Amino acid sequence: MEMETASSPLLTLSVWSSYIAINFTLAFLTYVAHWPPKSWNFWINVVTTTIGTVFNEFPFYIISFKVWMWFAVIIMDAWIVVSFSKSPLILLLAFTSEIFTTSILSHNFYKNYKSRRIVHAYTHTFERYGPELPNITSTNFWLRFMLPIYIPTNVKVFRNITYGTLQELQEIGKENASYLKLDVYVPKHVKKADRRPIMLFIHGGSWIAMDKSIPFPQPFYLSSNGWIVCSINYRLAPKNPYPACLIDCKRALRWIKENIASYGGDPNFVAVSGDSAGGHLAALMSLTANDKCYQPGFEDVDTKVQACACINGVYDVTNKHNAFTPLFTKWFVKEICGKSGDEDEKDVRDMLENASPEILVERKGNNDEKIVPFLVFHGDNDQLVNIKSCREFIKTFRKYSPKSDLVYIEFPGAHHAYHSVSSPRTHYSLIAMLRFLNWVYHTSSSNNITTDFNGKKKLINVEEDKYRFKSLDNLVPII
């Protein structure tokens, strides 16, 4: 007992030093997640995005860890003779950091749940086209905190299907052949004759990285709710300069229209979605349908899509609103497009404008062309794609194409990668996406024999559900 007592001051110092160090580290990371530093540096923003995603989407984990630390200290005090620190300064620092960290994490928890109210406000008009939004007392809500990866058991995945033709594979070479592949997510209950709607999902990664194999919640969730999802790879820059990536997306769409019926899909209804750079490509696919410039060798194929859902997408690569670092456009021209000219040169400027969804929307509006229904998500704490860029896109869309259907959902506190994990906020956004896509699918089809969310046939009165999103445009975001 004397040996324990003699060693207890050193043990006490060690325990409390570790506790203070961990506590202040958590406090610092919580601060960075909630108030990320404003920086034009890409890698700094990648780090803050990663921290923000963990601390904002899963604050319950951090709070649980802090509770565990308190229990550990109490147990050590009772059983191993590690007394609580007698230093008022240490106790004050510990208490202050505890209050600060826990209050911010609790606020993040509240914002996560608040997403339910935001989604309800913008999708209540067509809420019957998807499941209910789980509240805080439901098991489903808490499962989203405990299971960061969402992989349902009622989905079959057919992987690495080549969507390029033999001639195209020969043209791009063996080293690029792996890029022209896609995975098909099919609900297990679907039969070939069911003709389910299709979602083409495009991964992000700054046009230079990432892969379809990343387990994003979107393909799994939509396919578990009756959709067939094709998640694609595409050639990446700088080795394959833009517009190679857009051409590949359209090649994948061609494959879908020619082959998806054998999986139980409806080739006449294809929606497109993507995140970040994938959101940029999804928007371009929706706005450049049947543009022969992006369909070499398959100019006669119909590349129209029926709806678009963008997540934290890029909508203006000219940077005319100064939403990005001043070097962004130079980087895009050189690294993504493989051009050596200045962005002010006419051919480079034309290329940038043709690659900017916001400018394409303006052109279509000036020509009185209706745009396919758009659903746009963005987090206001996005450090990689400034929220200003998205807000300007929404303004342009509403100004130049007021008769087209648009739903914009902005999530307070959400970082760039919030959608990549299965948090409650992500789940609410997925329900919003499902409601929106089902609404478009059911109301745009001339056949009123449709399929409900359990795969059973039922009658839908299409006429009564032709809502106009214009009535939602004046809603004030709930922040």
Q: Residue 476 pLDDT > 70, yes or no?
A: no
Separation CA 471–CA 131 (nearest Å): 22
pLDDT digits (tens, 9 = 90+) for 136-165: 888 877 776 667 787 888 999 999 999 999
Percent of the chain with pLDDT over 70: 85
CA angle 455, 158, 217 (to 5 degrees): 70
User: Where does the pLDDT of residue 387 fall: very low under 50, low under 70, confident under 90, or very high at 90 and above?
Assistant: very high
Q: Residue 7 pLDDT > 50, yes or no?
A: no
Amino acid of residue 83: S
For residues 71-75, average pLDDT: 72
For tokens 């202050």, the residue is 96
Residue 446: per-residue pLDDT = 39
Alpha carbons within 13 angstroms on the beta-carbon side of residue 228 total 29
Amino acid of residue 58: F
Q: List the domains of the chain with CATH numbers.
A: 2-112 (no CATH), 120-472 (3.40.50.1820)
Q: How many residues does the chain have?
A: 479
For residues 93-100, average pLDDT: 80
Q: Residue 458 pLDDT > 50, yes or no?
A: no
Residue 30: per-residue pLDDT = 87
pLDDT digits (tens, 9 = 90+) for 266-315: 999 999 999 999 999 999 999 999 999 999 999 999 999 999 999 999 99
User: Where does the pLDDT of residue 12 fall: very low under 50, low under 70, confident under 90, or very high at 90 and above?
Assistant: low
Average predicted confidence (pLDDT) for the chain = 85
The dihedral over CA atoms of 394, 398, 399, 400, expressed in degrees to the nearest 10, equals: 100
User: Where does the pLDDT of residue 469 fall: very low under 50, low under 70, confident under 90, or very high at 90 and above?
Assistant: very low
A 10 A CB-CB count for 114 gives 19
For tokens 């349908």, the residue is 289
pLDDT digits (tens, 9 = 90+) for 391-420: 999 999 999 999 999 999 999 999 999 999
Separation CA 113–CA 132 (nearest Å): 14
Q: So which residues are the catalytic ones?
A: 276
Q: Which residue has the higher pLDDT, 356 or 62?
A: 356
Residue 85: per-residue pLDDT = 55
pLDDT digits (tens, 9 = 90+) for 303-343: 999 999 999 999 999 999 999 988 899 999 999 999 987 77
Interacting residues of 35 by C-beta distance below 8 A, sequence separation 6+: none
Q: Is 138 helix (H, G, I), strand (E, B) or coil?
A: coil
Burial of 63 (0-12, 13-18, 19+ CB in 10 A): middle
Residue 37: per-residue pLDDT = 84
Tell me which of 235-244, 427-436, 454-463 is least confident: 454-463
Residues linked to residue 186 through DSSP beta bridges, in sequence order = 156
Q: Residue 479 pLDDT > 50, yes or no?
A: no
Percent of the chain with pLDDT over 90: 60
Residue 474: per-residue pLDDT = 33
Separation CA 227–CA 213 (nearest Å): 19
* C-alpha to C-alpha distances, 409 to 288, 375, 478, nearest whole angstrom: 24, 8, 10
Residue 342: per-residue pLDDT = 78
Residue 80: per-residue pLDDT = 54
Residues linked to residue 307 through DSSP beta bridges, in sequence order = 271
Residue 450: per-residue pLDDT = 38
Amino acid of residue 331: W
